A and B are shown apart, each in its own frame.
Chain A
Amino acid sequence: MKISLNAIRFVNEHYGSAGNPAPEGVETIVQKIGAQLGAVEETIPYGERFDGVVVVRVMSCAPHPNADRLRVCTIDDGGITPDVKRDENGHVQVVCGAPNVREGLMVAWLPPGSTVPSTRAADPFVMEARELRGVVSNGMLASPKELTIGDSHDGILELDTDAAPGTPFTKAYNLEGDVVIDMENKMFTHRPDCFGQLGIARELEGIQHRPYKSPEWYRSNPEFPGVETDELKLDVRNEIPGLVPRFTAITMSGVAVKPSPVWLQIALSRVGIRPTNNIVDYTNFFMLETGQPLHAYDYDKVVAQDAGATQATIVVRHPREGEKITLLNGKEIKPREQAIMIATNDKLIGVGGVMGGGDTEIDAQTKNIIIESANFDMYSIRRTAMTHGLFTDAVTRFNKGQSPLQTATVLAKIVDEIRTFADGKVASPVIDDNHLPEDMLERNSVYPAVAVTRQFINARLGFDLSADEMAQLLRNVEFEVNVDGDNLTVRAPFWRTDIAIAEDVVEEVGRLYGFDHLPLELPHRSVSPVEPDKFFAFKSRIRDILVRGGANELLTYNFVHGNLLDKVDQNKEKAYRLSNALSPDLQYYRMSLTPSLLDKVHLNLKAGFDQFALFEINKAHNKIHTEDGNLPKEANLISLVYAANDKVVDPASGAAYYEARKYLDYLTERLGISLVYTPFIQEDDLEEKCPVIQPFDLKRAALIHVKDSNILLGMVGEYKDTVKKSLKLPAHTAGFEIGFEELLEAAEKAGKSYQTIPRFPRVTQDISLRVPGTVAYQALHDVVATQLETSKPRNTIAQVSPLDIYQKDAQEAYKQIAFRISIASYERTLTDQEVNRLLDTIAINAKAELGAERV
């Protein structure tokens, strides 16, 4: 919303509403607006752009000797411009190509040394005296476009001022020092009145603790003159009063359609609206004043829409099937089914509250008009605007929910203006199709008066204002306030749509008084300690451990490309899909983290990182698992991917699987959790239970369970060959993905891992066992460990750790596994003999259970 400080001051003084809105200067008022009204996007020194422009009279016009289209003119600038060549009459010669230049015209002159207003922003062009086809032109006469008043460049702007030649343009049109303030629309979402200049003018007074009084015509009951001429009949039929609670209209005849007075053209172009003709410009001007959009139709064109009709009919309805309309912007649309349409008996002539139709537009020939001032449902307007991409000034205002109580008031004002300045005669009684509730009309306020107490307001703001002080703040902006002790009864003026409950009054008082007065006190609280969130704390702990292990935490998007899911063999049907994704890259909610991480491997290798471990702790979603009613379960997952470039991998170091497993063991050991790795065995519902299975190569991956529990953590392993190929992964890539909540559960259950240090020496012995190649390492380890625990002398502490796994080659039927066993007693020194006996027992059992031979 843009406002001009000069315009506000003029209207304030003209109607006796208030005085200068910025008595302490522009900077102060801009700051106050920021603190008490809303963010200022830009302060535009609008008046400045006309510096140097002079009002002059064209004294003579003669043909140019060398150019048919140019004229050589002399102008009277009152003799005020220095350093310019003058003729014997003191006039200045200017060459002009405008078809409308003629003797006696008052025009805007850009003398040498002045800057063309339209060029100021981008590439300032400074005028000089120079020859045009052999004749000297001292500067030039300005077109509306050069002055940034509309975009017409067909001729020069004809001024309508009484000011004497030589008067600065800014003085003639009240632009001296004018500043346009552009405020963010967002905070006026609930303040439709602030989309009118009167609304802002009122607020500027209110926040400076001064009373504002709306112009008489706005405050009082609207009055319309009787029919002054042959009646132009108009019937209005409103078929959708639920969406159009009020439709006010009138006809006028004999209007003179012409360009608007210059002040009006300036008033519109200054805030970004293109001047068209006086009738359309008046509708826009009063919209800018009050926030109430207006629309003018050519009466005769409306009549002509209905075959054989002799009078105009306006029907407010939804579109019928197949109906189309060509809008003022030249576009044809097929309106959405529920749109509010303005129609005649036979045809659509406008999209209500959004944009008029081209067929009934006001043009230079228009004599008779219909003016509409209506109220439309904000939600319907918004949906229509969104459906058809029509974002007009009317939409901006209507979709905030304009007050329906001002339609007739604004209509009366524009009728008065057109009667006075455009020869219009009232040609019908006012039609006010009004479906507002009786009580709303009666109290002339959108909501019933709000009862609130001084204490209620002070308690929410931390202020200590008296009821009278509060009342005064509100009365300054024309609220009606009754004070009875500590009780305030607050009736909002008819243009306010946002004062429904006591909290709304709190906001109003706080804002008008100034939020910069809020007392900065911390709330009091008890000394009871706060428990840090266990999920965040656990994430932190995992992060610390993995980082210590040289891994890099990354974050990747929740949204992935369908191709990525395809590449890792995940079923897209199970993934939530966005209906309005930014691009196909971001279309699906990921179902596990690993694919996102794998997607980051190649780019890092290419960037010169030869080996790394990436990890992420984040959420993934799928359509299988839900929680809390029908919401998708938000599973937190931990994924890690280890990758190494071929050139840094030592072939003797074995499969990448073991690198990934090393990270997982490192992590879980520090959490006191023991894991069980089992080869993958196909189960029907496993993919549902454990959505992280894809993209692992199931022959080279293990399911991970927490030892001695049935908690399934996830998977660790290498990735399928097809995955490696399509994501350009190096051969040596592996990783794991496990459930975060499951890991937390296991960690919470984990016992203490500290063991008392024995005072007696530790005895260490190795045992090497030969087993068939099919026997899993874990199986043999378990036999050894179990036997060790059951057979060791009492009150000892024993450990078994892997020493070596040897198999001559893959075809060899046997492999040899060596363990190191260390044992210490808490009560005595163990003998070698004892330990040897223990190893013998272990070997015997290993043979019995797994056919192991001691070697």
Chain B
Amino acid sequence: MNYQNQKIADVASVLKEKLEILENKSDILKSVELRSLYAEIPQLPPEERGVFGKEINQLKAELEDLVADAAEVASALPPIDVTAPFDVNTPANKRPKLLDTEAGSKHPLMAELDHILDIFYRMGFNAIESRQIDDDYHMFGALNFPEGHPARDDYDTFMTTEGLIAPAHTSTMQNRVLKKYKEQLEQGDDIRVVIPGRVFRNEDLDARHEHTFYQLEGVYVGKGIHAGNLIATLKTFLQEYYQKEIEVKTQPFYFPFTEPSFEFALSCPFCDKKGCNVCSQSGWIELLGCGMIHPNVLKEAGIDPSEYTGFAWGGGIDRLVMMKHDIEDVRHFESGKLEFLRQFS
């Protein structure tokens, strides 16, 4: 800092020297030199007072910064030998050790995802993780959502200032997956992929709504694949997952990227359709959206829809886990609370 006023500049250099040797650095702010500068202000001609006062304040601020820096240095810990496996002079019985295995826990969503993937692997599906930030083309354009289409309103997406999107569904990966396995398809091997991942919806949190949650997308493309295959595949998965016979039903729905589109429900596996809290006494659980992949989506990935047909579905993982463990509040998942986490060892 350069001071215009010679007197202030002189005091500044004196005080900085003093600061070096002071035991208690903050004493510098109470120094005689600084106080006498302030005392001079009233003696000055009025026109000079402003500039002079301003410079004293600058000096004071500079000193305060120096004191703060010194305090940080003083409280900072000394360097350590980071190449060593333990600290100097640590007795053998006090050396770092891991916590007890009993304390460890897997996140229930991740543990469940492993379980779900295992079933789909056995059913012949590949897996690939979904992106957490994507562009408009993959989220909407490649999925037959025209620009400005009202169907986009159903997805309350987060956007970055650059126009990138926090994907609201794992379908954001469909185009990539179709392209990736297109060659394999043309060599006669069906496309079978599940795509788990994190998705985001711009909605307020409550016990049943999270802005961040996990979905699992499924894509199947081949020759002669029909809507009955879709329902059968989902039913087979769910029977394996719940280890029991279940019933399924569909409701027509609308998604721009499937035609026909369905909402898929299963008979409540917890009460066998008798009615319970999990299914809100209805005996049925609406689980996911699905349908036959729209020809425009196949075309967009370079797959000929007159030769190949396929189906896709997408559903939430959080909900499966909540139902499984009777978890009352979806917000626990991302709360980071050990009280919650350690229940899932």
Q: Which residues of A contact B (CB under 8 A)?
A: 34-39, 186-191, 378-379, 382-383, 386, 399-400, 459-462, 501, 503-504, 506-507, 510-511, 515-516, 518-523, 525-526, 528, 530-533, 535-536, 539-540, 543, 546-559, 576-582, 586, 589, 596-597, 599-600, 603-604, 607, 609, 611-614, 617-619, 621, 630-632, 634, 650, 652-655, 657-659, 661-663, 665-666, 677-679, 697, 699-702, 716-718, 721-722, 776-779, 781, 802, 804-807, 810, 815
Q: In the assembled complex, how far is the CB of residue B162 from the closest CB belonging to chain A, in whole angstroms? A: 7
Contact between A600 and B253, CB atoms less than 8 A apart: no
Residues on B lying within 8 angstroms of A by beta carbon are 72, 75-92, 94-107, 109-110, 113-114, 117, 121, 124-129, 131-135, 146-151, 153-154, 158-162, 164, 166, 189-190, 192, 196, 198, 200, 202-205, 211-212, 220, 222, 224-229, 231-233, 235-236, 249-254, 259-263, 292, 294-295, 305, 309, 333-334, 336-339, 341-342, 345
27 A-B residue pairs with Cβ-Cβ distance under 8 Å, sorted by A, are A186-B154, A187-B254, A190-B254, A461-B228, A506-B292, A520-B235, A533-B117, A548-B101, A550-B98, A550-B100, A555-B334, A556-B334, A557-B212, A582-B211, A599-B336, A614-B338, A619-B198, A654-B95, A657-B82, A661-B82, A665-B85, A678-B83, A716-B82, A717-B82, A777-B85, A804-B92, A805-B81
Complex Cα distance, B147 from A378, in Å, reads 11
* A35: chain B residues within 8 A (beta carbon): 249-252
Q: Is the CB of B85 within 8 A of A532?
A: no
Instruction: Assess whether B254 is in contact with A558, with CB atoms less than 8 Å apart.
Output: no
Determine how close the nearest CB of chain A comes to the CB of B78; give it in whole angstroms. 7
Given known contacts A515-B250, A521-B229, A662-B96, A815 and B88 CB-to-CB distance under 8 angstroms = yes
B77, A718: Cβ atoms under 8 Å? yes
Pick the contact of A503 from B124, B294, B334 — CB < 8 Å? B294
Asked if B133 contacts A632 (CB within 8 A), the reply is yes
Question: Which residues of B have CB within 8 Å of A580?
Answer: 158-159, 202
Q: Is the CB of B98 within 8 A of A666?
A: yes
Residue in A520, A596, A659 whose Cβ sees the most chain B Cβ within 10 Å: A520
In the complex, the chain B residue whose C-beta lies closest to that of A39 is B251
- A98 CA / B341 CA spacing, docked (Å): 65
B133 and A507 form a contact (CB under 8 A)? no
- Please measure, in the bound complex, the distance between the C-alpha atom of A495 and the C-alpha atom of B235, giving whole angstroms: 37
Please indicate the chain A residues that have their CB under 8 angstroms from the CB of B147 in the complex: 379
Tell me the smallest distance from the CB of A627 to a CB of chain B, in Å.
10
Q: Is the CB of A547 within 8 A of B104?
A: yes
Chain B residue at smallest Cβ distance from A507: B260
B138 and chain A: residue at smallest CB distance:
A631
Separation of A34 and B147 alpha carbons in the complex (Å): 30
Is A634 in contact with B132, judged by CB distance below 8 angstroms? yes
Question: In the bound complex, what is the Cα–Cα distance between A662 and B85 (angstroms)?
Answer: 8
Known: A461-B228, A805-B90. A531 touches B126 (CB 8 A): yes
A515-B252 contact given A523-B220, A547-B106, A661-B85, CB 8 Å threshold: yes
Q: How far is the CB of B112 from chain A (nearest CB, A)?
A: 12
Minimal Cβ-Cβ distance residue in A for B113: A536
Closest chain-A Cβ to B167's Cβ sits at a distance in Å of 11
* Bound-state Cα–Cα, A535 to B129, Å: 8
A-B pairs with lowest CB-CB distance, top 6: A654-B87, A550-B99, A778-B83, A600-B336, A462-B228, A702-B82
Most buried by A among B72, B96, B124, B196: B96
Q: Is the CB of B232 within 8 A of A521?
A: yes
Q: Chain B residues near A34 (CB, 8 Å)?
A: 251
B120 nearest in chain A by CB position = A530
Q: How far is the CA of A526 from the CA of B132 in the complex (A)?
A: 33
Q: Kindly state the separation between the CA atoms of A76 and B70 in the bound complex, as whole angstroms.
A: 97
CA distance A56 to B243 in the complex (A): 63
Please determine whether A654 and B86 come into contact, CB atoms closer than 8 angstroms: yes
The interface residues of chain B lying within 8 Å CB-to-CB of A612 are 99, 103, 338
Contact of B192 among A382, A525, A802 (CB under 8 A): A525
In the docked arrangement, what's the CA distance between A378 and B151, Å? 12
Bound-state Cα–Cα, A189 to B72, Å: 61
A632: chain B residues at CB < 8 Å are 133, 164
The residue of chain A having its C-beta at the shortest distance from the C-beta of B212 within the complex is A557
Q: Smallest CB–CB gap between A651 and chain B, Å?
A: 9
Report the nearest A residue to B129, measured CB to CB. A535
Query: Shortest distance in angstroms between B15's beta carbon and chain A's nearest beta carbon?
Result: 26
**Cα distance, A203 to B125, chains bound together (Å):** 38
**With contacts A382-B150, A614-B336, A653-B94 known, is A528 near B121, CB below 8 A?**
no
Q: Is the interface of A mostly helix, strand, loop or mixed?
A: mixed
Q: Point out the residues of chain B lying under 8 angstroms from A600, CB to CB.
A: 336-337
A628 vs B260: C-alpha distance in the bound complex, in angstroms?
Answer: 32
- Is A552 within 8 A of B309, CB to CB? no
Q: For the complex, what is the distance from the CA of A661 to the CA of B89, rounded to whole Å?
A: 17
CA distance A605 to B86 in the complex (A): 25
Identify A579's interface contact among B87, B127, B161, CB under 8 A: B161
CB distance from A719 to the nearest CB of B (A): 11
| Complex Cα gap A596–B334 (Å) | 11
- Chain A residue at minimal CB-CB distance from B130: A634
Contact B104 A548 (CB under 8 A): yes
Candidates A459, A631, A776; contact of B81 at CB < 8 Å = A776
Contact check: which of A552, A617, A653 meets B341 at CB < 8 Å? A552
Cα(A627)–Cα(B196), bound, Å: 21
Query: Is B232 a contact of A554 with CB atoms below 8 Å?
Result: no
A461-B228, A523-B190 in contact; A503/B259 too (CB < 8 A)?
Answer: yes
Is the CB–CB distance between B96 and A659 below 8 Å? yes
A503 to B294, CA, bound (A): 8
- Most chain B CB within 10 A, of A532, A578, A655, is at A655
Q: Judging by beta carbons under 8 Å apart, are B110 and A555 in contact? A: yes
Most chain A Cβ neighbours within 10 Å, of B94, B146, B231, B251: B251
Pair B236/A522 contact, Cβ less than 8 Å: yes
Is B135 a contact of A460 with CB atoms below 8 Å? Answer: no
A555 x B259 contact (CB < 8 A): no
Question: How far does the alpha carbon of A523 sit from the alpha carbon of B88 in the complex, in Å?
Answer: 65
Q: Is the CB of B132 within 8 A of A558?
A: yes
Interface contact B232-A460, CB-CB below 8 Å: no
**Chain B residues, CB < 8 A from A399:** 150
If A510-B227, A580-B158, A679-B83 touch, whether A530 touches B90 (CB-CB below 8 Å) is no
Complex Cα spacing A382 to B148, Å: 8
Residues of B within 8 A of A630 (CB): 135
**Cross-chain contact of B292 among A460, A582, A717 (Cβ < 8 A):** A460
Which residue of B has the minimal Cβ distance to A189? B254
A556 to B337, CA, bound (A): 10
Known: A462-B228, A550-B102, A631-B134. A400 touches B85 (CB 8 A): no
Q: For the complex, what is the distance from the CA of A652 to the CA of B132, rounded to whole Å?
A: 44
**Contact status of A558 and B212, CB under 8 A, knowing A604-B337, A655-B80:** yes
What 4 new A-B contacts, CB under 8 Å, besides A461-B227, A716-B82? A652-B91, A653-B90, A678-B83, A702-B83
The residue on B at minimum CB distance from A701 is: B82
Interface residue from A501, A536, A554, A805 paired with B117 (Cβ < 8 Å): A536
Q: Which of A382, A459, A504, A658 contacts B86 (CB 8 A)?
A: A658
Known contacts A383-B148, A553-B106, A662-B97; A603/B80 CB under 8 A: no
Question: Of A400, A546, A657, which is within 8 A of B150 by CB?
Answer: A400
**Docked CA distance A29–B40 (Å):** 94
> Of A36, A539, A777, which is within 8 A of B84 by CB?
A777
- On whether the beta carbons of B133 and A631 are closer than 8 Å, the reply is yes
Chain B residue at smallest Cβ distance from A520: B232
Instruction: State the CA gap A678–B83 with chains docked (Å).
Output: 6
Whole-angstrom distance between the Cβ of A512 and the nearest chain B Cβ: 10
- Return the contact of A722 from the options B72, B151, B236, B263 (Cβ within 8 A): B72
Chain A residues, CB < 8 A from B114: 536, 540
What residues of chain B lie closer than 8 Å to A699, measured between beta carbons? 76-80
Contact of B228 among A521, A525, A578 (CB under 8 A): A521
Inter-chain contact B333/A555, CB cutoff 8 Å: yes
- CB B109 to nearest CB in A, in angstroms, measures 7
Which residues of chain A are near B262, meaning CB under 8 Å?
515
User: Which residue of chain B lies nearest to A702 when distances are taken between CB atoms in the complex?
Assistant: B82
> Is A530 in contact with B126, judged by CB distance below 8 angstroms?
yes
Least distance between A152 CB and chain B CB atoms (Å): 34
